[in-house]
Homo-oligomer: A and B are copies of this chain.
Amino acid sequence: MDKFENAAIVKKANVYFDGNVTSRTVLFEDGTKKTLGIILPGTYEFGTADKEVMEVLTGSAKVLLKGSDSWSQYEAGQSFEIPANSSFKISVEKIMDYCCSYIKE
């Protein structure tokens, strides 16, 4: 059972798109932050502030990065990066479980 140790977990959820996307914030001793989230079927657009690394834990997603004209597909176990101060569209057919790491640059 893969888990994050010695972390702080924010009690309240982050809720987007009427609950179709939700996540929990995990804070680490070194000051870094991750969110663990669920995306229900649909297509959503998100903006980034920090660079993000999205790891697909369960399910799969098609992703369109800002400035790109082609969607890329990612399966469970794969990750993709989104640059800082950018945006991306994500399309999910079945429920997707993810871990997002926020990278200060």
Residues on A close to B: CB < 8 A? 1-13, 15, 18-19, 22, 24, 26-27, 36, 38, 40, 57-58, 95, 97, 99
Which chain B residues border A95 with CB–CB below 8 Å?
15, 18-19
Complex formed: what's the CA distance from A1 to B8 in Å? 11
Q: Which of B4, B9, B27, B38 contacts A22 (CB 8 A)?
A: B38
How many copies make up the complex?
2
Q: Tell whether, in the assembled complex, residue B3 and residue A9 are in contact, meaning their CB atoms are under 8 Å apart.
A: yes
- Closest B residue to A99 by beta carbon equals B11
A26 to B11, CA, bound (A): 10
**Known contacts A15-B97, A19-B95; A9 and B38 CB within 8 A of each other:** no
Residue of B nearest to A10 (CB): B3
State A27–B2 Cα separation when bound (angstroms): 12
- Residues from chain B with Cβ under 8 Å of A36 in the complex: 9, 11, 13, 24
13 contacts between A and B (CB under 8 A): A1-B10, A2-B11, A3-B9, A3-B11, A4-B11, A9-B26, A11-B36, A12-B58, A12-B97, A13-B58, A15-B97, A19-B40, A22-B22
